[in-house]
């Protein structure tokens, strides 16, 4: 009886030591707090990221329109340019 109690206490002690080592290594409470802080930072900076994305989209649209107009200017088919005729040709 005494032997089984001693082995049970050893097992409990080993379990507590493993648990303590796990909490020291991983620290799930700190990880949880870090995730909450990162989520809050993302929430507060989402508007700025949206504005930056809109700026990039508008910039690329502008570049695309500029490229299309340059292609249309040097194209010999006048229907692509609308009513503007290339007088140098």
Q: Where are the domains of the chain?
A: 2-80
Q: What is the pLDDT of residue 84?
A: 55
**Comparing C-alpha atoms, which of 59, 89, 57 is closest to residue 76?**
89
Q: Which of 1-5, 40-44, 65-69, 76-80 has the highest mean pLDDT?
A: 40-44
**Comparing C-alpha atoms, which of 68, 66, 78, 69 is closest to residue 86?**
78
Outline where the chain has alpha helix (H).
2-25, 28-73
Q: Can you tell me the distance from the alpha carbon of 75 to that of 6, in angstroms, rounded to the nearest whole number?
A: 93
Q: What is the pLDDT of residue 78?
A: 55
Q: What is the pLDDT of residue 1?
A: 84
pLDDT tens for each residue of 23-56: 999 898 999 999 999 999 999 999 999 999 999 9
């Amino acid at each position: 009886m005494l032997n089984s109690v001693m082995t049970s206490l050893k097992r409990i002690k080993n379990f507590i030591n493993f648990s303590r080592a796990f909490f020291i290594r991983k620290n799930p409470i700190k990880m949880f707090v870090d995730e909450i802080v990162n989520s809050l930072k993302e929430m507060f900076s989402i508007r700025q990221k949206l504005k930056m994305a809109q700026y990039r989209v508008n910039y690329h649209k502008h570049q695309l329109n500029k490229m299309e107009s340059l292609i249309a200017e040097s194209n010999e088919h006048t229907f692509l340019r609308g009513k503007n005729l290339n007088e140098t040709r």
